[in-house]
Amino acid sequence: MLEGNNDGDSRDSDNTSINNKDYQNNPYKIYTVSVSNLNKDILDQQRSQQHQQKQEHANNNNIMIVDDEKDILLTYKAILAESGYNVKTFTNPYDALLHFAQADPVYYKLVILDIRIPNLNGLQLYNRLKAINKDIKIVFLSALDAAKELVSMIPCANSNDIIIGKPVEKEYLVNKVKAELA
């Protein structure tokens, strides 16, 4: 609510003010608006968002999971979120790749990939993610019996360390993620 005074100024309850002044017999009135509290609120909100982003980076519990099966994504996301991880999921490997490329290079500490994904399989996605960030840790999910053989084709990969067989028990998944992030 605006409160007026005798000199043509009005002040709102949130300290937003409107000034009405006549300048040297000008037939037009000039209004100026002060929005000091509004600007302060916007700056406070931006600082809060930046602080939250820094906290997420500092915790570095950020995990990306890529699998074409939505049920598996929902299940794994719930399990890992319950254990304190920030999880982003994708069913489309191209969307995941684009998101990964646009994110801060150190935002994700771990990526979990299904090997059998339509269009761009997990091994191809692995190579592209490593081209963006060579230090990213990657774990493969697979129900394939030949998964270890497939992963053995990746240079510098130890198939015992980076394969999780499907289906996976909750405790095993959490422990594997903790071990990879340690």
pLDDT of residue 159: 47
Which single residue is written with the structure tokens 């990964």? 100
User: Higher pLDDT residue, 1 or 89?
Assistant: 89
Which two tokens mark 9? Answer: 């100024």
Q: Which of 113, 121, 125 is nearest to 76 (CA)?
A: 113
Provide the pLDDT for residue 160. Answer: 47
What is the per-residue pLDDT for 35?
55
- The residue ranges of every structural domain in the chain are 3-51, 60-181
pLDDT confidence tier of residue 56, bands split at 50, 70 and 90? low
pLDDT digits (tens, 9 = 90+) for 76-128: 999 999 999 999 999 999 999 999 999 988 899 999 999 889 989 888 999 89
d(CA 87, CA 62): 6
Comparing CA positions, the residue from 60, 64, 93 lying closest to residue 77 is 64
pLDDT, position 147: 57
Work out the percent of the chain whose per-residue pLDDT is above 90.
Answer: 40
> Cβ(59)–Cβ(46) under 8 Å?
no
Rounded to whole angstroms, the Cα distance separating 118 from 43 reads 44
- Assigned CATH for 60-181: 3.40.50.2300
Contact (Cβ atoms closer than 8 angstroms) between residue 142 and residue 167:
no
Q: What is the b/e burial string over 73-94, where b = at least 16 CB atoms within 10 angstroms of the residue's CB?
A: bebbbebbeeeebbbbbbbebe
pLDDT recorded at residue 24:
60
Give residue 24's identity as a one-letter amino acid code: Q
